[in-house]
Amino acid sequence: MIRIIPAIDIIEGKCVRLSEGDFDRKKVYDQDPVNVAQRFEEAGVSHLHLVDLDGARQKKIVNWTVLEKIASKTDLQIDFGGGVQSDQDLRTAFDCGAQQITAGSIAVKEESVVLQWLEEYGSEKIILGADSKEGKIAVSGWTEITVLNLHRFLSKYVDRGIRYAICTDVTKDGLLQGTNLNMYRAIKQKLPHLFLIASGGVTQIDEIESLDRIGVNGVIIGKALYEGQIELSQLKDYLC
């Protein structure tokens, strides 16, 4: 059964959502992300995707205190991303309570570092962040579009031991216009053993059902929850 993973994105310590990763199109949903995380847990959620958007821009972890508070006040399994660019960032994330970290930009720019992390911490601890726009990998808070092909990028890391990957279609994220089912179907066909987590654009409950049917292992839901397009009560069959 597909894993439901609500998202909390952080700017200046607040729970926000962006549209297409654009920091100028920001909406604040809650001043206290801990309250949001506790509401998710009370509804039966077990996993959380926590993103330090300030960290993504500054290329270092900024909102580590938010991670620490959520980890200490809930039992959620937290994967943390945004600004994890060094060994110190990695240690900070784990010390503050993250169970997994997402390696995004650094997986593009410093492959050897991520491979070292895989060897040291194991494949259960490191998630590959593979965000793309029109099939090309996007980095640095989606402000840079590279020439790297999404499928080749994923395949290379799977060959080197990656087991988990979060894939986001940047053009879908935060727009409430639906997710890119074709992209995820193609990935699962080529890499059936990859624990694939879909992210970006999920708007209706039937999209989650479709992702489940094509074999996607997890789905990150953000704005659809905050805007009431999907209610936590609708997800109860997936939260058992």
CA 172 to CA 220: how far, in whole Å? 13
What radius of gyration, in Å, describes the C-alpha atoms of the chain? 16
Please answer whether residues 136 and 150 qualify as being in contact, where contact means their C-beta atoms are separated by less than 8 angstroms.
yes
Query: Which one of 54, 79, 89, 131 is the catalytic residue?
Result: 131
Q: Write out the two tokens for 26.
A: 């920001």
Helix, strand, coil fractions of the chain, as percent rounded to 5: 40, 30, 30
Query: Which one of 9, 52, 79, 89 is the catalytic residue?
Result: 9
Q: Which amino acid is at 170?
A: V
Q: Which amino acid is at 213?
A: R
CA 12 to CA 179: how far, in whole Å? 28
Look at residues 62, 122, 117 and name the one whose alpha carbon lies nearest to residue 90: 117
Please answer whether residues 59 and 52 qualify as being in contact, where contact means their C-beta atoms are separated by less than 8 angstroms.
no
Long-range contacts of 60-64, Cβ-Cβ distance < 8 Å, separation of 24 or more: 60/85, 60/86, 60/89, 61/89, 61/92, 61/93, 63/10, 63/13, 64/92, 64/93, 64/96
Q: Which amino acid is at 160?
A: R
**79 catalytic, yes or no?**
no
Please answer whether residues 232 and 45 qualify as being in contact, where contact means their C-beta atoms are separated by less than 8 angstroms.
yes
Residues paired with residue 164 on neighbouring β-strands, in sequence order: 127, 195
Q: What positions carry a catalytic annotation?
A: 9, 131
